[in-house]
C-alpha cells in the first residue's frame, strides 16, 4: 500500500493559495492512501521566530488543516517535534549528504540572502530534516508544490546513497505535484499569492466582508488590453473555476467575456459569492476547533502515536544497519 507524507510550516497565515495548491490535495489523498501529515515546527525554527507565540501558531496550523477537511479518522496529523526520532535520522542522513548539494539548493540561497545577518546551519541543513521526515515514514508519495521539487530530488539522492552504503532500507519517494492552480497575488497578478506580500492574499479564515472587500480591490486590467486575457482577470476566472464547484456561473461568465459583454464587477461579485460560500464552513469549523484546544491536542497526540510506531520501527532498522548497536 502506498504511503503519503507531507509537511506544512506553521507560518501564521494560511491563504487560499495554500488551500488550492496544497491542503486540498492532502484532503483528497487521505482517501486514497495511508497518510501522515505533519506540522513542521522544527523547520520553522530556521528563521527568526517568536518562541512565545509559537505554540499558538502550531495549534492554529493544525486547526486550519482539520477545518479544511483533514480527517483524523483517515489520516495521522501530528507535530514534527512530537516524534523526535526525526532529528536522530536527520543526523545519520546528514552523514551521507554532500555539502555541495546543500549549498546549491535554491531555497537555501534565497533564505541566506533574506537573512544575511544570521545564516545558521539549520537553514543549510533544512533539506536533510525534510528528507528525514519523508524517509522516517518510508513514504513513497509526497505532495508538494514546485518550489519543493529540488528538495525532493535531494531526498531521493540521500535515500540512494544510504541504501548503497548500508543496504536497501528506504523507498525512493515520488513527488506528487499539487495539481491545483497557481493562485496569483490579488494586488499584483504577475506574482504568486503569498503571505509575505500584504494585500496579495485572502486567508482561509477571513470574514465574508473582508473577502468581498479584497476581491473588489483585485487588479483586473492594468493597461490597455492586447486582446489577450490579462493576468488579473485570468486569476479571477481561476478562482471562480475553483470555488464554483458546479461550474454554471463560471461557464456563463466565460461566455460573457468571450462576447465582450462581461463587466468585471460582475466577475468579482461572483468570485466573492462562491468563495464565501465555500470558505464559510471552513471558517466556522476553525473557530470551533481553536476554542476546543483539548480536543485539538488529543487529535495531535493520537496522530503522533501513530507516527511514532512507524518511526520507532524505522529507527531500529536504521540503527541496526548503520552499526549503532554496540
Ligand atoms: P508556502 O507556505 O508558501 O511554503 O506554501 C505552502 C504550500 O502551499 C506549498 O505546497 C505551495 O506549493 C502551496 N502554495 C503556496 N502559495 C501558493 C499559490 N499562490 N498558489 C498555489 N499554491 C500555493
Ligand atoms: N519544506 C516544506 C515547505 O516549506 C515543508 C516540509 C517539511 C515538507 N518536511 C516535508 C513537505 C516533507 C513535504 C515532505 O513547504
Report the CATH number at residue 270: 1.10.240.10
pLDDT of 263 reads 93
Judgement on whether residues 214 and 252 belong to the same structural domain of the protein: yes
Positions of the chain with pLDDT under 70: 222-226
Domain count, the chain: 2
In a domain, 187, yes or no: no
Residues 6+ apart with CB under 8 A from 229: 237, 257
Cell numbers for 85, please give them. Answer: 526520532
Check residue 208 and give its pLDDT: 97
- Residues 132, 235: one domain? no
Instruction: Please tell me whether residues 9 and 139 are part of one structural domain.
Output: yes
Q: Are residues 273 and 314 in the same domain?
A: no
Please, which residues bridge with residue 141 across strands?
4, 174
Residue 230 Cα to chain centre, angstroms: 28
In a domain? residue 96: yes
Domain limits for position 224: 208-286
145 plus 227 within the same structural domain = no
Judge whether 73 lies within some domain: yes
Residue pair 200/11 in contact by the 8 Å Cβ criterion: no
In this structure, is residue 124 part of a structural domain?
A: yes
Give the SS3 label for residue 174: strand
30 and 130 in a single domain? The answer is: yes
Say if residue 266 is in the same domain as residue 299. no
- The helix/strand/coil state of 255 is helix
Based on the domain organization, do 160 and 77 belong to the same domain? yes
Assess whether 214 carries a catalytic annotation: no
Quote the pLDDT of residue 228: 85
Look up 192 and say whether it is catalytic: yes
DSSP labels for 123-149?
HHHHHHHHHHHHHHTT-SEEEE-GGGH
- Do 168 and 276 have their domain in common? no
CATH of residue 99: 3.40.50.620
* Pocket around ligand 1 at a 6 A CB cut-off: 9, 11, 17-18, 20-22, 144-145, 178, 180, 182-183, 192-193
Of the listed ligands, the closest to the CA of 6 is 2
Q: Are residues 277 and 301 in the same domain?
A: no
Q: Which atom of ligand 2 is nearest to the CA of 40?
A: 7
The predicted pLDDT at position 11 comes to: 83
Q: Based on C-alpha coordinates, what's the Rg of the chain?
A: 21
Report the candidate in 117, 158, 166 with the shortest Cα–Cα distance to residue 135: 158
Residues 152 and 255 in one domain: no
The answer to whether the CB of 134 falls within 8 A of the CB of 91 is no
For helices 231-243 and 248-259, the axis angle rounded to 10 degrees is 160
Amino acid at each position: 500500500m502506498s504511503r503519503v507524507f507531507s509537511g506544512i510550516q506553521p507560518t501564521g497565515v494560511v491563504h487560499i493559495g495554500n488551500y488550492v495548491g496544497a491542503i486540498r490535495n492532502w484532503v483528497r489523498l487521505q482517501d486514497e492512501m495511508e497518510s501522515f501529515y505533519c506540522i513542521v515546527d522544527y523547520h520553522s525554527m530556521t528563521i527568526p521566530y517568536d518562541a512565545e507565540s509559537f505554540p499558538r501558531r502550531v495549534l492554529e496550523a493544525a486547526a486550519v488543516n482539520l477545518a479544511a477537511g483533514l480527517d483524523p479518522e483517515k489520516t495521522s496529523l501530528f507535530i514534527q517535534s512530537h516524534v523526535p526520532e526525526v532529528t536522530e535520522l536527520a543526523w545519520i542522513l546528514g552523514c551521507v549528504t554532500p555539502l555541495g548539494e546543500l549549498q546549491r539548493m535554491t531555497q537555501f540561497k534565497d533564505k541566506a540572502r533574506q537573512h544575511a545577518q544570521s545564516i545558521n546551519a539549520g537553514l543549510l541543513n533544512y533539506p536533510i530534516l525534510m528528507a528525514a521526515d519523508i524517509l522516517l515514514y518510508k513514504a513513497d508519495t509526497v505532495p508538494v508544490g514546485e518550489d519543493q521539487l529540488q528538495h525532493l530530488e535531494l531526498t531521493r539522492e540521500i535515500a540512494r546513497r544510504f541504501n548503497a552504503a548500508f543496504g536497501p532500507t528506504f523507498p525512493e519517494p515520488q513527488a506528487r505535484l499539487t495539481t491545483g492552480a497557481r493562485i496569483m497575488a490579488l494586488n499584483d497578478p504577475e506574482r504568486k499569492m503569498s503571505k509575505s506580500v500584504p494585500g496579495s492574499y485572502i486567508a482561509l479564515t477571513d470574514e465574508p466582508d473582508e473577502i468581498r472587500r479584497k476581491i473588489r480591490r483585485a487588479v483586473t486590467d492594468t493597461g490597455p488590453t492586447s486582446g489577450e486575457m490579462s493576468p488579473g482577470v485570468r486569476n479571477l476566472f481561476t478562482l471562480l473555476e475553483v470555488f464554483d464547484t458546479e461550474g454554471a456561473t463560471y461557464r456563463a461568465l466565460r461566455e460573457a467575456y468571450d462576447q465582450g459583454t462581461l463587466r468585471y464587477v460582475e466577475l468579482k461579485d461572483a468570485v466573492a459569492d462562491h468563495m464565501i460560500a465555500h470558505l464559510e464552513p471552513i471558517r466556522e469549523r476553525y473557530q470551533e476547533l481553536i476554542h476546543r484546544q483539548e480536543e485539538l491536542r488529543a487529535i495531535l497526540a493520537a496522530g503522533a502515536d501513530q507516527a511514532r510506531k512507524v518511526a520507532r520501527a524505522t529507527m531500529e532498522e536504521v540503527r541496526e544497519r548503520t552499526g549503532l548497536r554496540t
